[in-house]
Amino acid sequence: MGRAGQPKDRTDGPERKCIATGEVRPKYGLIRFAVGPDGQIAPDLAEKLPGRGIWVSADRAAVEKAVKKGLFARAAKRAVTVPDALADLLEAMLARRVIELISLARKGGGATTGYERVKDWLAKDQAEILIQASDGSERGKSKLSTPYGGSFIGWLTAAELGHAFGRQSAVHAALGAGGLSKRVVEEAARLKGLRVSDGGKDHREGK
């Protein structure tokens, strides 16, 4: 797993083709959609809905292109209805998914929060993932470093991260190795694609 929160390059696992970019990639970097009985396009983050899947890269530009160009209907070979503001809907769903996974890790003793606790986990090589709120103090965040060979997640807000720990807000958190860590990193990477541009800017800035 890498510094930017992206899973390390790997060749195992099935691949799928993005209808927007035409690229064939491991499916953990894409989002599956399914067509409901009423012709509604439904995001299928858990990849359990019936029917043939339609895959789009976990990237805001790719999702918006698929909507604008009518690529869902083309892939489904039928008329479909696409939810309004699909990219925003996906972002909210992925954020909720990441928060829930971190919360599960916390309940299992695999996650901690608070500057001193996170610092202690890092010092003891107990942390595999460092998570810091995007709207937290840059000065405070700069005092902690990503674990060697570990991952960094920095695009959840303090309120979102706090929610995962049952508090109003949190700026620093850490996850240990094993357990849900791999899933947290992969889902957070998909969230980053919907939330943060290639230049590192949060698309919500300036709104």
- For residue 77, the tally of other CB atoms under 10 A from its CB is 9
Question: 3.40.50.9100, 3.30.70.100, 3.30.1230.10, 3.40.605.10: which CATH number matches 15-84?
Answer: 3.30.1230.10
Domain spans in the chain, listed from the N-terminal domain onward: 15-84, 88-195
Q: Which helix (H) or strand (E) holds 157?
A: none
Q: Which fold has domain 88-195?
A: 60s Ribosomal Protein L30; Chain: A; (3.30.1330)
The model's confidence at residue 200, banded by pLDDT at 50, 70 and 90, is: low
Q: Which of 7-16, 168-177, 193-202 has the highest mean predicted lDDT (pLDDT)? A: 168-177
Q: What is the amino acid identity at position 5?
A: G
pLDDT in tens, 155-189: 999 999 999 999 999 999 999 998 799 999 999 99
The CA distance from 190 to 168, in Å, is: 25
